[in-house]
Chain A
Amino acid sequence: MSQATETETTEGTGRIKSVSGPVVKAVDLDARMNDVVYVGDEGLMGEVIEIEGDVTTIQVYEETSGVAPQEPVENTGEPLSVDLGPGMLDAIYDGVQRPLDVLEEKMDSAFLDRGVDAPGIDLEKEWEFTPEVEVGDSVEAGDIVGVVPETVTIDHKVMVPPDYEGGVVESVEEGAFTVDDAVVTLENGEEISMRQEWPVREKRPTIEKRTPREPLVSGQRILDGLFPIAKGGTAAIPGPFGSGKTVTQHSLAKFADADIVVYVGCGERGNEMTEVIEDFPELEDPKNGNSLMARTSLIANTSNMPVAARESCVYTGITIAEYYRDMGYDVALMADSTSRWAEAMREISSRLEEMPGEEGYPAYLAARLAEFYERAGYFENLNGTEGSVSAIGAVSPPGGDFSEPVTQNTLRIVKTFWALDADLAERRHFPAINWNESYSLYQDQLDPWFKENVAEDWPERRQWAVDTLDEEGELQEIVQLVGKDALPEDQQLILEVARYLREGYLQQNAFIDVDMYCPPEKTYAILTTIQTFNDEAFDALDAGVPIEDITDIDAAPKLNRIATQEDWEAYVDELKSDITEQIRSLY
């Protein structure tokens, strides 16, 4: 929502009946459900969430200290909407799309004051518009009428708003314009500018949803290698605190091969958002070397910012994501954390004295989560382009217990599950994704892509890794009882190979430059090198070589160092031949 709508006449004015934290009740207000209202003398932004007789209940997006009964409530007559147009990339917003940098300037303070509003996109700035239609062309809702270079990386496509009728183009402009200037006019009088508004709680229309067939390559070995997510897919990352949810989300935001990244910091730490704001402009987009911010839109509603705005921030995020999808881009949305969003729902619901469902969460929790994740997918857009929104939600289960309602309801919807594990985190195995519990239901539909683009035997290699790790899991249980040396030699060797898989393949250091991003080719190379060791070692074992001699070869510990090599291709080639040579020399 923005000040851009300020000029509209207010639909009606009521007055406050009661105030309790973020929930305000008003009387004499003529409002529809979900209308945005301005509350009190200070004009705090709020949204209508319940109407009962003459009493309207409003959730207020700002702190309500000092607000008193009898103060006025103004209705804008519009639902909570976002401004869509050039300028959303390289921007940082709060939960209701107020740009935080503009707020800092307007408030002249490092602290967030109340009652200050700002438009979601700069209304003064002029953008260079190049039309792609001519006078006399016929356009329909959703069609692209021109482009604007928004950042070095992204061309912003200007589209006919989905709720327009469309028709024959009457006039077309070219050159520098502000977002509110009409750049294309239709014969039926409809004017198309670079700015659209869209209500956040409603999904933007498309033609159809398709089955995703391409992976969202993340540059994280355990994700690409074992549990891949598709472009247009959904994933959940649940984990107790300290297990690395945010680091994983950050890595995805940095390295995922999406065109656009929308990062929603929902009820999380202020310093984490600051880290993103400071780091991203300096990081390079792995695709083209430009600044990472050129493809990123940030939404930061930290845990101490008003709870109602936390409830709306995921919707703001996904609406922006859908808008770029409409242009034909692949968008990745990270929501960290969806639990905080669910808790915001719970808090508001309990202030409304609604009958609670499981663990105090409202009964509609499952429906809201499902609705949100359903907005992700691989789509054919109204204008015929194809685009995707991949949604990756972190979940913060209380006490790390995955049986709680938010985790469970999320798992029923998403198709990729990356389970973070406190035990792994404690021993500094990062990313602390548990390979026994995690899964991806996209594997089969993505295998053709990996076969074609990386290696023909990608699925078999992956299966070998999974089998070896499974076997290790079983053997470890026995080891806990009798010790490793009591096992037969071939099983000891499996443990050894699995150890290299864990340390050299699954572990990845997000803080070392060469290792933070791992292309699928390198992921594959590390895996095949470990498998080379495995195959050679078993051959030697069969030939009667004692296990100690095999595992003690000089080359073996180098398996753990492939990840950190600049020139990994040469290193892998040399290591493979060293391993073969050294093991074969034993018999």
Chain B
Amino acid sequence: MKEYQTITEVSGPLVFAEVDEPIGYDEMVEIETPSGETKRGQVLESEDGIVAIQVFEGTTGIDRNASVRFLGETLKMPVTEDLLGRVMDGSGNPIDGGPDIVPDERRDIVGAAINPYSREYPEDFIQTGVSAIDGMNTLVRGQKLPIFSGSGLPHNDLALQIARQATVPEEEGEGDDDESEFAVIFGAMGITQEEANEFMDDFERTGALERSVVFMNLADDPAVERTVTPRLALTTAEYLAFDKGYHVLVVLTDMTNYCEALREIGAAREEVPGRRGYPGYMYTDLAQLYERAGRLKDREGSVTQIPILTMPGDDDTHPIPDLTGYITEGQIMMDRPLHSQGIEPPVNVLPSLSRLMDDGIGEGLTRADHADVSDQMYAAYAEGEDLRDLVNIVGREALSERDNKYLDFADAFEEEFVEQGFDTNRTIDETVELGWDLLSTLPRTELNRVDEDLIEEHYREDAAASDAETEEVSAD
């Protein structure tokens, strides 16, 4: 391996060096500073005679006498089942004081794209125990469903709750024991030490660490390293899922920090910026992460992704949530007003969406009435939401009896259905039944999205009747 002491320029996270042999694009580089420190980097652009290197651990301490070694291969992640239970830094080095990792295999971290022909369409319902998700925005195995949040909202609590509670309800008659196992991969990018502790404490408290692999890039770690962390996490996830048959849930937090790192590199390379200074290729880059979720034909395992991102200024048209939403299969939207009302989790179901829901629910999967109940609750809650604006102007008395029922429904929906606390685990049956409790406060004829037979079966006459009585009294 040839060593060069030919650095010509150091600029932000980039180092330019002269070379006299061809160097491969994306190849790994080690730079040794005069003080003996070794930093790792990657070839960003390779030309005859000169290469641009992106340094992961920051360029501090690098001068023109630093020596540059090209490793002749692209960045690889050592993968093995023994990674479960381990904690690593953002570059994949163990930081838990445990033994060295003896890899089964070393995998390229830029995963090849899955052939769309080889995918299997995800349709296995995952019960998260959270009504706002299970009932209204169902998550399925192999889906990528991000949490769109804002600074100061409890997205981490929700992610932990999902990681803790997620199960696939046993299918009747198919309870064999070779059920594949469940694993959680946690990729942290630029989160604070405090947040990291919160996650680690929860993992340790619930014993979840045994079946987890943790990658930690903290807020004071080099930003460039953040571009590598999720790829290490996903390479590990793919290995566990498709080679070892695990059902892997990947939690990535916080994607906003990842995108900031992309912008930083783009700026250092003097690229033409796209919207708000983010690089024009951010869509492609994000897609290369998010699309590494899914299921494959004839393979046991699955990769399900829950990326978390904080929307700058709670603005969902900001490039980060916007591009994410175009790639992922829906989004769970956290809401500040609900949070200040004390609703836990503060999920606003109206702008939330799960694109794979329709195929993951229904008879044999969840319940036959699930889709209709969910549709009807959406419509009713949206109507109640609209009326709230009107109430502010004309007052409740000025509204019709029908409108008042919708207002009550919207309140009850938030306080009873969405609100459940971060420790309550509701089965899908409980969730749908709760839905019927709420829908039954509306007149039967208003349920135009529910099949008539289902209304017959589930509609609680007494709820409406008692309601109607009170209405009559107040109407008089």
Contact = CB atoms under 8 A, between A and B. Distances in A.
Interface of A: 16-21, 63-71, 92, 100-101, 103-104, 107, 109-114, 240-242, 265, 267, 269-271, 273-275, 277-278, 300, 302-307, 340, 343, 346-347, 350, 353, 356, 359-360, 396, 398-401, 422, 425-428, 479-486, 503, 511, 557, 560-561
B293 to A, nearest CB: 8
Contacts of B358: 511
Nearest to A427: B382
Contact of A66 (B27, B142, B283): B27
A19 B45 contact: yes
A505 B150 CA distance: 38
Given A71-B22, A100-B115, A270-B116, A242 B331 contact: yes
Given A269-B291, A303-B284, A353 B23 contact: no
Given A18-B47, A274-B121, A483-B399, 7 more contacts: A242-B355, A267-B283, A267-B284, A271-B356, A302-B116, A350-B271, A503-B448
20 contacts: A18-B46, A65-B110, A104-B117, A110-B242, A110-B296, A111-B113, A269-B327, A270-B113, A270-B114, A273-B116, A300-B116, A302-B287, A304-B292, A360-B273, A398-B319, A422-B351, A427-B378, A480-B390, A485-B398, A511-B358
B400 A484 contact: yes
A303 B287 contact: yes
A274 B117 CA distance: 6
Interface in B91-105: none
Contacts of B197: none
A401 B398 CA distance: 36
Nearest to A424: B382
A396 B47 CA distance: 36
B35 interface: no
A360 B272 contact: yes
B122 interface: yes
Contact of B291 (A104, A107, A303, A360): A303
Nearest to A482: B394
A486 B272 CA distance: 56
Nearest to A305: B113
Nearest to B325: A241
Going nearest first, the 7 A-B pairs with the smallest beta carbon separation are A399-B317, A303-B287, A18-B47, A304-B291, A110-B118, A427-B382, A241-B325
Nearest to B324: A241
Contacts of A484: 400, 403
A428 B294 contact: no
A559 to B, nearest CB: 10
Given A269-B327, A560-B448, A92 B117 contact: yes
Interface residues of B, number: 83
B475 interface: no
B287 A267 contact: yes
Secondary structure type dominating chain B contacts:
mixed
Contacts of B284: 267, 303-304, 307, 343, 347
Contacts of B316: 399
Contact of A112 (B27, B115, B292, B327): B115
Contacts of A64: 25-26
Given A20-B45, A271-B122, A66 B271 contact: no
A110 B297 contact: yes
Contacts of B119: 110, 270-271, 273-274
B37 to A, nearest CB: 27
A64 B24 CA distance: 9
Given A68-B46, A269-B327, A350-B271, A104 B292 contact: no
Contact of A70 (B22, B113, B378): B22
B448 A304 contact: no
Contacts of B116: 92, 100, 265, 270, 273-274, 277, 300, 302
Nearest to B327: A303
B114 A112 contact: yes
A71 B48 CA distance: 11
Contacts of A18: 45-48
B317 A400 contact: yes
Given A65-B26, A270-B291, A398-B319, A483 B112 contact: no
B281 A307 contact: yes
A425 B382 CA distance: 11
Given A18-B47, A303-B287, A65 B280 contact: no
A280 B46 CA distance: 45
B299 interface: yes
A114 B112 CA distance: 9
A506 B337 CA distance: 33
B329 A269 contact: yes
A518 B22 CA distance: 62
A359 B121 CA distance: 36
A399 B313 CA distance: 14
